[in-house]
Each structure stands twice: as C-alpha cells, then as structure tokens.
Amino acid sequence: MMGSSRRNPAGGWKGRRWPRRRVLQAGAIGAATLPLGIAACGDDEESAPSPTSPGQSPAPGMTPTPTETPRRGGVWRIAMAGDPSALDPMQGTALPTHQLAGFVYSGLFRYKAGPGVDPTTYTVEPDAAEGFETPDGIEYIVKLKPNVRFHPPIDRLMDAEDVVFSWRRLIGEVPGFAGAPYAATPKAYIDTIEAIDARTVRFRLKAARGDLFSYENKWYWVMPKETGTAFDPAKQLVGSGPWIFESYTPGSIIKLRRNDQWHFGPDVPYMDAVEIYIIPEYATRFQQFLAGRLDYVDVFASDIERLRSGNPSAKLLRALAELPVTIIAFSTVQNPSEPWSDPRVRKALSMSFDRDAMLDAAYDFRNLEKFGIEGLKRLWNNEIAAQDRAYWLDPKGEFRFADGDPQITAENKRAFAYDPAEAKKLLAAAGLPNGFQADLFTTTARYGQAFNTVTELVQQYAAQVGINLTIRDVDYSSVYITQIVVQKNFRGLLHIPKRTGILANLRGYFVPGEIANYGKIQDQALIDAVAAIERTLDRDEARRKVLEFQNLANDRMYIIPLPVGALGAFVAVQGNVRNADVYQVPGQGWGTEVVPYLWKAS
C-alpha cells in the first residue's frame, strides 16, 4: 500500500498471486509430455480469474513429473545458432550474448521456475539478493545474500559496491568503458543506486514503479568491481552464477564448468559442465541430436517423424519461445515523406496478411496434428505475445484471461483480419491506389525456419495489394544488429523478433530513445500510457492497463505484430534428461533459472 513499507522477498508487482492450475498430461514421443500442447486446464486450486476461452492450454512448467532422486554428474550439451556478438553483456545486444551471460552472471533477482510455476506470469524470486523493501515504489532497499561468491580469479564475496559499480559501468561512468547500448532504458527511470553498507543497496527511482525487479532482472548482471582491471570482460566472463567460464573458441564451442560454491548449492547444479556448440545450420543440429551428441535441440514440425524413428526415446516438448513475437517495423514511421507515415497504409499492410495461413506454413499444423499434438490453436500475437496470456489482448477477440478484462475494439480487430480488398481501399484512400515499393530488411542466418518462411509470406501477401517489397537479407552482426538495431540506420521495413517481458515490450518499442524503438516513434499518448503502467503498484490493475495499451497501440499500428512464436517452440531432449518439462522460463536467464536443475538418469 502506498505510504507504508512493503516487504517482498520475491519482487514483482504487489497484489494477488496468479493461480496454479492442475493439468492433465498425455504422451507424445516416447515418455514425452507436452506441457503447452496437449495438456488441458483443470479446476483452479484457489479462487482467481481463469481463461474464458475453451481449449486454451496451460503454460509450460505446470505439469508435475514423477518423483525421482536427482543424479549428479554429466555434461549438458546444447547448440547456439551463432556466436555471441560480444562476451561482455554490457557490450552486446544480441540474444546469444545475454543467453551466455545468464549461465555465468547473477542478477539481483531471477524468474521463478519449477513444478507448479506458471512462467508466463513473470514471477520473480531472489537471486543474489535476499529481498527488498519499498515504502513508496520510489525507494527500494535491497539486501544481498551473505554467500554470493565471485568466480576465480576474483574469488571473494559480492558486496554492495559491486552492485553500484555494475550500474556505473552500465551507464558509462566507469573510465575506459562507454556504457551499454541499452543504458537509456534503465536511466529513464533509475535516479541513483548507492551502497548503504556492505550488504545493502538503495535504488532511488525518478517516479514510482511497480515492476522494478521483474524487468531489472533481465538487464542488470552484477559484475565484480575488478572488471576491466583484474580481467578483460571482452575475453573472459567472471560472475557468481552456477557456471564458471572456461573457454570460447569462436565458431566452435563455449565450455563452462560447475560452480561448486553457487549460492543455491550445494546440491545444484546437478551436472558437472556445459558445452555450447556453435552450429548455424538447423539440419546439422538436428542430426547431432539424433546421433546423441546434443542433449537438446529445436525441432521443425516436418522432422517429428524423423525424430520418432531416429531417436524413439527422445522427448518432444512444447516450450516457451525465447523470441515470442516478430514484428514489421518501419523506418522513421512518422516522417510525412514516407508512404507508411499514414496509419491507413500500415493497417492496409496488416490486413494483407493471412495470419492463420502464415501459422500453417511456418509450423506445419497438419503434421503436428498428425502426430497427436492436440489442443493447438491458431493464436495471433499482439504487442504482447500470445504465450503471455494474462497480459495478451487477443486480436481475434476470443480469449480473455479474466472476466471483465478489456477486449480488442471492433476497428482494431478488423485491422488484424485478412481482407485484401479492404486493404486496397485503404491504400487508395491514402493516395496510393497503385501501392508503393520498399525494402524489407531481414536476416536469414539466425532466427530459424518459421521466421524465414514468414518473411517470404510478408513479401507475397503485400504484393497482392500492390505493396512491392524487396527482401534485403543482411549480415546479422555487422548490419542487422550494429547498423539497424543499434544505429537505426535503414530505410524501409524491418522484420525482427521482439524480446520477452511485458514492460520491455511497451517502453522498449514505443518510448523515444529506447533501443527497440526502430521507427523513432514519438507519440505522447503512448508515452503517457507506458508511464501510467509503470507507476501502478497493484499487479492486476497494471495488467489491465497493459491490455488497454494494446488497443491504443493497435489503433496507430506503428508496429505490425506477426504470428511467429505464437505457438511457442518445439524442442526435443534426450530420453534420460529430467526436469526439462517443468523448468521453463521466458527470456535469457535459462542458464541460471533452468539448467542447474536439469539432470541425467543413468
């Protein structure tokens, strides 16, 4: 309550806890369960809102597994589709950089995972912190755990000065380092961070904020104050997380070993080491899994039959997508000299897309249904991903998380529906009866088959209404990330994934100066709406404001959401891997939130 101290050891918005839901499980390949695919919701265990749309599947992480005694030992072998853009998490913006950081570094808080946890509610729990207090949502007092130890060569306990140093380094106040390219986001709402004593840190914000540590968790890796002097963070990762960095051979492999002094130990991590192979080609990754040389791999629907015959003991899981939404963004979207500055043009492009057909093509629905993966729904992403169902405004208007939740307006619903004839009328009304030509920037080397398939379909559907797009497939690191994402140096349209998280998908994409505001959007109504959500301390009130925000954003359509990621991700794990079905999280913290709890049966 505003004006009184709130103690919260787990962070997150104040207010009602989301319900745990019992689920029924069914078999897939071998002993597999599909926690988000074929399971169906049961009765609530407590009084709370429930989905009102039949057939909505429960989130991963909520299906119990038979009790077994975890076994220590073994190596977790996985693959990345490409090298990290940097080893230093304050230099790189690409997903592989922060995925790797999540194995080695600790945040103050982390997303909660495990049996009975719905990861799509973004519940946080302490990591390096013990908890926090806030009297007003502006001042947060964080207490550190007494047993968080940095890896060699630092080999000492974390203290409050490390937290302050990490903040100063991130915003460019440490000599010799210019700051993180994404520093504008936390600087917009954090005023100061200071050490009160060796284990206590004070965060002072510029305005009240209800979700500080839910979002902070994903950008604020705590680095030792010797960073840059005792070791070079561009060549070596030294954190306090569950895995100790050993070596990195570009284009080949990253090796990590178990941290025996991890503050969540001594039992975990269960495995002794992690090996991350750099394998850009999906076919090679899949074949390595079939041969037993990888423990975990992404799976295309077209390969389910090969998986079943080539590795019958493997488990097929439907997991949360790390990149759960892709979007079409526009360069300088409000520049009146550009054809897409008119909202009718942007809505016309959206109406040219048959999103159900895109899903069928990208995910091969018929093949999924052929192999008994039931309960699949052709869901469409909005500004918030369909997998984040508590915060998602259904563009079809069929689903509500709770009675009384805002629903999509009739006009916005039409803007998502496939209607090429109406799209042509909108283009003509905007003075473009013959459409226009533009470049569509993408990269085909990083995000997988579904992303690439939808890129081609965007081009084909747009052409049917007179919008002729030339696909520009650019290099991922030197152009896509450096020039487009960081510098916003492009002209035309951009197909790009969105990050996970709720406020990350609002502030990051719609507030001027943010790294994901690709179109340089400046709309005061949206800016004010984001600020109002951030100031709201009651979780359910904030959730409803997020739903209302999506109607506001849909009305302007500065960004066009696409259905890539709406089904989650299909992955396979070897048959002897345990806990992969119940430990799932959104975002980049998999290495500390999930992998330590995986183990291999003999």
What are the two backbone dihedrals, phi and then psi, of residue 560, each rounded to the nearest 5 degrees?
Answer: -105, 110
Q: Which residues of 230-262 are buried (b: 16+ CB within 10 A; e: fewer)?
A: ebebeebbbbbbbbbbeebeeeebbbbbbbeeb
> Which residues neighbour 249 within 8 Å (Cβ) at sequence distance 6 or greater?
none
The structure's pTM equals 0.78
Which pLDDT belongs to residue 504?
74
Is residue 558 domain-shared with residue 578, that is, in the same domain? Answer: no
Is residue 240 domain-shared with residue 168, that is, in the same domain? Answer: yes
Question: Does any domain span residue 46?
Answer: no
> Which residues neighbour 333 within 8 Å (Cβ) at sequence distance 6 or greater?
340, 341, 346, 519, 520, 521, 558
Please report, for residues 395, 557, 560, the alpha-carbon distance to residue 411 in angstroms, rounded to integers and kept in the order given: 11, 12, 15
Domain span at 133: 6-15+68-275+569-600
Question: Does any domain span residue 550?
Answer: yes
The Cα 190–Cα 207 span in angstroms is 8
- Residues 150-194: pLDDT tens digits? 999 999 999 999 999 999 999 999 999 999 988 888 888 899 999
Whether the CB-CB separation of 565 and 326 falls below 8 Å is answered with yes
Q: Which residues of 168-184 are buried (b: 16+ CB within 10 A; e: fewer)?
A: ebbbeebeebebbbbbb
Q: Is the pLDDT of residue 145 over 70?
A: yes
Beta-bridged to residue 294, according to DSSP, are none
Which pLDDT belongs to residue 474?
96
Is residue 468 domain-shared with residue 584, that is, in the same domain? Answer: no
pLDDT band at residue 375 using 50, 70 and 90 as cut-offs: low
Which pLDDT belongs to residue 376?
75
Of the two residues 270 and 5, the one the predictor is more confident about is 270
The Cα 314–Cα 291 span in angstroms is 11
The total of other beta-carbon atoms located within 10 Å of residue 560's CB is 23
- Residues 8-60: pLDDT tens digits? 444 333 333 322 222 222 222 222 222 322 222 222 322 233 333 333 344 44
Is residue 582 domain-shared with residue 498, that is, in the same domain? Answer: no
The Cα 520–Cα 509 span in angstroms is 9
Which pLDDT belongs to residue 143?
97
Is residue 245 domain-shared with residue 384, that is, in the same domain? Answer: no
The least confident of 37-41, 344-348, 429-433 is: 37-41
The least confident of 202-211, 274-283, 335-344, 364-373 is: 364-373
pLDDT band at residue 218 using 50, 70 and 90 as cut-offs: low
Of the two residues 408 and 35, the one the predictor is more confident about is 408
Whether the CB-CB separation of 478 and 82 falls below 8 Å is answered with no
The least confident of 33-37, 114-118, 570-574 is: 33-37
Please report, for residues 161, 217, 268, 316, 320, the alpha-carbon distance to residue 573 in angstroms, rounded to integers and kept in the order given: 41, 27, 20, 7, 15
Is residue 510 domain-shared with residue 580, that is, in the same domain? Answer: no
Which pLDDT belongs to residue 41?
26
Provide the CATH number for the domain around residue 157: 3.40.190.10
Question: Does any domain span residue 419?
Answer: yes
Pairing of strands 200-205, 139-144: antiparallel
Of the two residues 220 and 545, the one the predictor is more confident about is 545
Question: Does any domain span residue 317?
Answer: no
Question: Does any domain span residue 48?
Answer: no
Long-range contacts of 458-461 (CB under 8 A, 24+ apart): 458/328, 458/353, 458/495, 458/562, 461/352, 461/353, 461/354, 461/420
Q: Is the pLDDT of residue 352 over 80?
A: yes
Q: DSSP 3-state assignment of 552?
A: helix
Whether the CB-CB separation of 220 and 183 falls below 8 Å is answered with no
Structure tokens that stand for 360 in this block: 């069928």
Question: Does any domain span residue 32?
Answer: no
The least confident of 20-34, 298-312, 436-450 is: 20-34
- Residues 184-203: pLDDT tens digits? 888 888 999 999 999 999 99
Is residue 481 domain-shared with residue 335, that is, in the same domain? Answer: yes
pLDDT band at residue 312 using 50, 70 and 90 as cut-offs: very high
Which pLDDT belongs to residue 374?
59
Whether the CB-CB separation of 6 and 134 falls below 8 Å is answered with yes
Q: DSSP 3-state assignment of 281?
A: coil
The least confident of 409-413, 440-444, 482-486, 543-547 is: 482-486
Is residue 478 domain-shared with residue 340, that is, in the same domain? Answer: yes
Q: What does the pLDDT average to over 243-259?
A: 98
Please report, for residues 9, 68, 581, the alpha-carbon distance to residue 116 in angstroms, rounded to integers and kept in the order given: 19, 17, 11
The total of other beta-carbon atoms located within 10 Å of residue 459's CB is 18
Is residue 237 domain-shared with residue 351, that is, in the same domain? Answer: no
> Which residues neighbour 425 within 8 Å (Cβ) at sequence distance 6 or greater?
none
The Cα 41–Cα 56 span in angstroms is 8
Whether the CB-CB separation of 117 and 61 falls below 8 Å is answered with yes
Which pLDDT belongs to residue 107?
95
Is residue 10 domain-shared with residue 137, that is, in the same domain? Answer: yes
Is residue 362 domain-shared with residue 400, that is, in the same domain? Answer: yes
Mean pLDDT over each residue of the chain, to the nearest integer: 86
Angle at 193 between CA 191 and CA 197, to 5 degrees: 150
Which pLDDT belongs to residue 66?
56
Question: Does any domain span residue 463?
Answer: yes
Question: Does any domain span residue 281?
Answer: no
| Total count of domains within the chain | 2
- Residues 56-83: pLDDT tens digits? 344 444 444 557 899 999 999 999 988 9
Provide the CATH number for the domain around residue 473: 3.10.105.10
Is residue 354 domain-shared with residue 418, that is, in the same domain? Answer: yes
Which pLDDT belongs to residue 354?
98
Please state the separation of Cα 128 from the chain's center in Å. 21
